[in-house]
């Protein structure tokens, strides 16, 4: 879960910047080696940035750096 927390902190810093977007979040997540891209792709299979805002990212340990649309931030969540 430490990986998800670390990514959430990094992404939340970006959220505060001008013109934050899903593409900026994705680019930042690509720099994080602990992101499990096949699991992230599966989790976001029906993702629509116009409706959903930003993707959530699944980490190698199974935890999730989840986008909280109503709060406009990311938060770490335990696997499961």
Q: DSSP string covering 22-49, please?
A: HHHHHHHHHT-TTB-HHHHHHHTTT--H
Residue pLDDT tens, the chain, 80 long? 899 999 999 999 999 988 898 999 999 999 999 999 999 999 999 998 888 889 999 999 999 999 998 899 999 999 76
Distance CA 14, CA 27 (A): 11
- The pLDDT assigned to 68 comes to 93
Segments making up each domain of the chain, as ranges: 2-77
**Rounded Cα–Cα distance for residues 32 and 48 (Å):** 23
- Of the candidates 37, 29, 23, 34, the one whose C-alpha atom is nearest the C-alpha of residue 11 is 29
pTM over 0.95: no
Look at residue 80 in the predicted model and tell me its pLDDT.
63
* Among 17, 4, 2, residue whose Cα is nearest residue 67: 4
d(C-alpha 1, C-alpha 6), whole Å: 9
pLDDT confidence of residue 51: 83
């Amino acid at each position: 879960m430490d990986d998800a927390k670390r990514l959430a902190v990094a992404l939340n810093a970006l959220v505060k910047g001008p013109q934050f977007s899903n593409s900026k979040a994705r680019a930042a997540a690509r720099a994080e080696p602990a992101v499990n891209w096949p699991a992230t792709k599966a989790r976001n299979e029906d993702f629509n940035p116009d409706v959903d805002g930003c993707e959530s990212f699944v980490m190698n340990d199974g935890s999730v750096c989840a986008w909280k649309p109503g709060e406009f931030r990311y938060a770490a969540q335990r696997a499961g």
